[in-house]
Structure 1
Amino acid sequence: MSTFKFKTPGNNDNNDNKLSKGDFRHLSPNIIHDTSAGTSGLIAGELAAEDDNLLNSQILTSHEYGSINSHQSLIPVTHEQQQEQQKQYQDEDILTYEIDEPNSGFALPKSQLFSVISSLFMASFLAALDGTIVTTILTLIASDLNVVSNISWIATAYLLSSSAFQPIFGKLSDIFGRKILLLGCSALFGIGCLICNTNSLVLLVVGRFITGCGGSGLTALGTITMSDMIPLRDRGFYQGLANVFFGIGSASGGIVGGYVSDILGWRYVFILQVPLSIILFITIYFNLNLPQGSPGLGAYDQNLKQKLKRVDFSGALLLVSSLMMILTAAALGGRDIEYNSKTFISLCVGSIILLTGFIYNELYLVEEPILPITLLSNRTILASSLANWFYTMAYFTVLFYIPIYYSSVMGMSATENGSRLIPNFFGTLGSIGAGLYMKKTGRYYKLAIAAGTSATFGILNMTRLGPETPIWEQFLLLLPTTLGYSCILTVTLLALIAAVPLKYQACTTSIQYTFRSTGSTLGVSIATAIFQNILFIQLNLKVKALIDDPQLASKIIQKALESTDYVKIAPKEVQNAIKDSYALGCQGAIKFALATIILGSISSLFMKEYKLHTSVDRK
């Protein structure tokens, strides 16, 4: 029998009062299990999650599931006792409430838990690594296959599939279980990498697309599965570690790709990932054995036919198609597709039509939506999603355009440019720091404010960047923003998960990844449009003022638009004009990032602080 331990105010001795469950039989068991249930929410979300009829829109939008109110008692008592205690005791930290469990609140024994967590970290690393691993070998692949004109599709295929398919894994794993989907994604990842060992551009693009599907699932499902195994109070720390592994993978992709390609050839860049995906498959197969009753098991009491009937195929098709179209327009717009072309406009209009159809389908036509958008009516879920969206837009914009500024305006080499990004890695440790803070305090709202302050200050400082900026400041330039961004990723994830009952933690995680993946693509695309527009206008003004020959001026402008390296070989009389134009273009992109980071910081203020439970079943 589980034992409840609690201390009462004013009792300073070391003897904890202990009562068995039987002593609380006159109270609702949900009041006992959900220590955060206050006067406004005596029915815990876990009970509501057991019956779809109980968990209606009123409960989801009340914003009271597990919320921490000021001076709220953590002792399971009656309504009258709670009111009396709130008057008497102003400091809730003097109250403790714990449940003894065989695995200290975790879903698995430590040895098994660490094996699964390690494999999920490796999955996160692999997915991030594969996203950037082709950046340094694109021209080599294109030249070898004679497809220079279609080079962008090699990188874009992975981006499109990983972003478009990520939102659907949450609900699918609720039906079929986390383990089977993780195994499937591991297999897809390995098969995709194996297909990339080819001499055909079509097969290479198909292989990258399949790899992206698997990689996106590994990232999203890894995050969801950790929530099945780890209590919310510890969840932030483990998510911080996962973010570090993801960051290492993203940062090292280009280096690993170039190194392996130089020694073994570009095909081995993909081939060598196949054994890693096999190891991942085997580890998950033998170690991911969630206990009975875990939401990660899916609908284990239903057969395959019953499970398939529950899948919202129409919603999945509409959502994936909509995201594919808008992300294609965002990724290729302004480079391979003109912004004013029929193709670009058709992609945008088609995406809006499909998205409208998806929203209508989810709200009115299906019983179990693939992505329950009604959850966005919860203030915390909407606020944290928007914060995630705007932060990601801002962060990827500066991550893309600060190096462009260094190379085009300040004339740095690739090595000098890259060295200034190295200290940025230490900013990713902010995720771990955020996790430790939440583990110790059980709070995250003040941390969100601090993250917003740090990120906003960092980008504000970037607007002052110039050739006169001290070298030490160049090395530390991205650090405050990276620190704030890494913190907010962990904070918003925990806020999303804590805001809803266990049944919906997978869906809310999918919502976060949807906002994050679209935010990165759309943010860089909008910033690129701003940059190119300013650059074009400024080059025309400055170069034509210096060059009398219209044809020569147009040729210089065209070359300057096509390559950031052209400034080094351009006629001396226009070099400063080109540098100034690039500087203004980059500043325009950075100001866009500043606007979005402010919007993200404001959005995070509307989150509500929820109880971070110390056991996976939130009791």
Structure 2
Amino acid sequence: MPDKKDSHEHHHDLIPHLSPNIIHDPSAGTSGIIAGELAANERSLISQANLKSHSYGSIAPSDESTLAAAEENYAIDDPHGGYALPRAQLYTVVSCLFMASYLAALDATVVTTLLSLIASELHAVQNISWIATAYLLSSAAFQPIFGKISDIFGRRALLLGCSLLFGIGCMICVTDSLWWLVFGRFVTGIGGSGLTSIGTMTMSDLIPLRDRGLYQGLANIFFGLGSASGGIVGGLVADTLGWKWVFALQVPLALIVGLAIFFNLKLPAGSPGLGMHGEDIRQKLKRVDFLGSFCLISSLMLFLTAASMGGREIAYSSNSFLGLILSSFVLISAFVYVEAYVSAEPIIPIELLGNRTVLASSLTNWFYTMAVFTTLFYIPIYFTSVMSLTASQNGLRLVPNFLGVSCGSVGAGYYMKRTGKYYKLAVFSGILSILGVVKITLLTPQTPVWQQFILLIPSGLGYAAILTVTLLALIAAAPMKFQACTTSIQYTFRSTGSTLGVSIASAIFSNIVLQQLTRNVNAVVSDPKKAAKIIAKALDSTSYVNDAPEYVKGAIRSSYDAGCKGAFYFALLTIILGFVSSLFMREHKLHTSINRD
């Protein structure tokens, strides 16, 4: 963490503890990417002719014979009551996928209570942030490519590989070297991102659309439990066995997941999850879009590094920050060119954005994720800096949000299972989310305690429902053989939404707080040097308001109040944009069989 400055001028760019780290998007791990079902014998995955001629399964108008002909090669012989596996085998696989999702989410947050302990033991306090950032960077950057790769090599092979990577990464973390620990976290992040994204794809290979949302809601609960319990589990294990056991104990769990997948995930003939048939490893490798993958992963890595460290380790006005942003832009431009004109089998076909529902659902998730993660990040700051709540009081007020998210996910899935519809649900969920964020913008220290506890429930419930709705809309909108490509697009939007949203909100918050502190503190402190020191301390820690001289506490609290409100209004703007985007989705048929009968 940078040293405090005697002057406040540098804090405009560097506010160490308030600028966001990469926040793992739980939606991205569970709802963000679904089954990629591609033709086993087609070399060209997509063409303008296919896109223009295909009806995308819309309810009306549609040509059912054309739709049936387009997907007849993807029928599964004798599906088990509409599912791809017998019930006992299905439940075993799904349970393992839930466990994999829980592990990946837990590993994203398990170090939150261990950072200071690990950094002190390894004498690496200055590089402490990399222990958490390495996992989140690799997790977000690699997830968009798993859809296409699993379509080539098959879901089971990729799940086994990701389980192995996850376990190896955890083993590497049992070390006395900081940089080996960082490398281990990076490897674990790749494995964890694959477990969540490919696991979600696999569920779509197994479960018909009509029931898919309900299973996704359950998956969201497990992922949420993993995220919520990471810090607690990490602290308990570290206190009893030592911090290295936090990583070591995850190895056998990853092994159990891998073994269960190996023995039970045996997809029937005709399933797109089996990968490319009749080709050896060399032929399959030739299908991989290595150049496009490199450009996409590199661009996301640079972008996420800039977003997570900008204003903290790297000043917004510095050449390093500008260089990261420029390089990311160049690489993403190169990726678009490669996908559109170079690659025979692009990892993410750009043409698919011509599908209205694909584009609308992607933008919906992008804007909603920006809004929700902004509120999740800045409401605790408001409670701490403006209302002077303790960490435990703050945490208790966030617990009901998990209840709202769980009810929203499962409730949306159950509604779609019963009705086979989702458009009206998307509209209702959007209105509920907007009203929830409006209520957040009206938060004051005088807000009744009971309202503080339920503050996040409306937006959390609406957001969780939207995630499930857009997931089903996306799957139903695209032909089976294009599902991985379309959902990779959505996944890319969502995986960047949380980081970009919190980063923009952080810039808004930082500028407002600096301006307000400069004006308010100088109004009550006549000595410029003393005022500058108070401002620097207030910028450096939200808890300083409790230790500050009594005569400046009001000035500091009002400054933080204004900064948080700026972030809340940004969240309101983005969630309205998300709602408008959702209105452009079309209603599609939710089939009751894995064969879309």
**TM-score with structure 2 setting the length:** 0.90
Instruction: Say if 2:123 is the partner of 1:132.
Output: no
Instruction: Tell me the residue number matched to 1:394.
Output: 371
Deviations 1:8-54 (A, max 9, x none): xxxxxxxxxxxxxxxxxxxxxxxxxxxxxxxxxxxxxx999975779
Determine which of 405, 427, 432 is the counterpart of 1:449: 427
Contact kept? 1:62, 1:378, Cα under 8 Å: no
Instruction: Tell me the residue number matched to 1:232.
Output: 209
Instruction: Tell me the residue number matched to 1:65.
Output: 56
% same residue: 64
Determine which of 522, 529, 547 is the counterpart of 2:507: 529
Q: Counterparts in 2 of 1:95-114, with a 5 A limit?
A: 101-114=78-91
Counterpart of 1:539, as a letter, is L
Counterpart of 2:282, as a letter, is K
Instruction: Tell me the residue number matched to 2:239.
Output: 262
Instruction: Tell me the residue number matched to 2:8.
Output: none
CA distance in 2 between counterparts of 1:58 and 1:566 reads 62
Instruction: Say if 2:529 is the partner of 1:551.
Output: yes
Larger radius of gyration: 1
CA distance in 2 between counterparts of 1:136 and 1:207 reads 18
Higher relative contact order (CA 8 A, sep 6+): 2
Deviates most, 420-429 or 344-353: 420-429
Pairwise CA distance, 1:513: 2.1
Q: Counterparts in 2 of 1:272-351, with a 5 A limit?
A: 272-351=249-328
Q: Counterparts in 2 of 1:89-168, with a 5 A limit?
A: 101-168=78-145
Contact kept? 1:174, 1:296, Cα under 8 Å: yes
Q: Counterparts in 2 of 1:374-393, with a 5 A limit?
A: 374-393=351-370
Instruction: Tell me the residue number matched to 1:190.
Output: 167
Q: Counterparts in 2 of 1:602-613, with a 5 A limit?
A: 602-613=580-591
Instruction: Say if 2:359 is the partner of 1:368.
Output: no
CA distance 1:228–1:536, change in 2 (3 Å): same
CA distance in 2 between counterparts of 1:392 and 1:172 reads 26
Partner-residue secondary structure (3-state), 2:252: helix
Contact kept? 2:46, 2:349, Cα under 8 Å: no
Instruction: Tell me the residue number matched to 1:510.
Output: 488
Q: Counterparts in 2 of 1:6-21, with a 5 A limit?
A: none
Q: Counterparts in 2 of 1:381-530, with a 5 A limit?
A: 381-428=358-405, 429-530=407-508
Pairwise CA distance, 1:477: 0.2
Partner-residue secondary structure (3-state), 2:543: helix
CA distance in 2 between counterparts of 1:370 and 1:482 reads 32
Instruction: Tell me the residue number matched to 2:335.
Output: 358
How many residues are aligned here?
553
**Which runs of no fewer than 5 residues in structure 1 stay unpaired?**
1-45, 78-98
Contact kept? 1:49, 1:502, Cα under 8 Å: no
CA distance 1:469–1:104, change in 2 (3 Å): same
Counterpart of 1:583, as a letter, is D
Counterpart of 1:447, as a letter, is L
Counterpart of 2:495, as a letter, is S
Partner-residue secondary structure (3-state), 1:599: helix
Instruction: Tell me the residue number matched to 1:11.
Output: none
CA distance in 1 between counterparts of 2:491 and 2:47 reads 24
CA distance in 2 between counterparts of 1:193 and 1:564 reads 34
CA distance in 1 between counterparts of 2:198 and 2:45 reads 27
Pairwise CA distance, 1:509: 2.5
Counterpart of 1:433, as a letter, is G
Alignment RMSD: 2.1
Contact kept? 2:164, 2:255, Cα under 8 Å: yes
Instruction: Tell me the residue number matched to 1:84.
Output: none
The 4+ residue runs of structure 1 with deviation greater than 6 A are 46-50
Pairwise CA distance, 1:61: 4.9
Pairwise CA distance, 1:568: 0.7
CA distance in 2 between counterparts of 1:310 and 1:53 reads 10
**TM-score with structure 1 setting the length:** 0.87
Contact kept? 1:178, 1:298, Cα under 8 Å: yes
Deviates most, 508-517 or 536-545: 508-517
CA distance 1:172–1:54, change in 2 (3 Å): closer
Pairwise CA distance, 1:510: 2.2
CA distance in 2 between counterparts of 1:402 and 1:499 reads 36
CA distance in 1 between counterparts of 2:245 and 2:222 reads 22
CA distance in 2 between counterparts of 1:330 and 1:54 reads 33
Deviates most, 143-152 or 468-477: 143-152
CA distance 1:544–1:330, change in 2 (3 Å): same
Deviates most, 141-150 or 288-297: 141-150
Contact kept? 1:49, 1:55, Cα under 8 Å: no
Deviations 1:167-186 (A, max 9, x none): 00000000000101000101
Instruction: Say if 2:564 is the partner of 1:586.
Output: yes
CA distance 1:309–1:583, change in 2 (3 Å): same
Counterpart of 1:65, as a letter, is Y
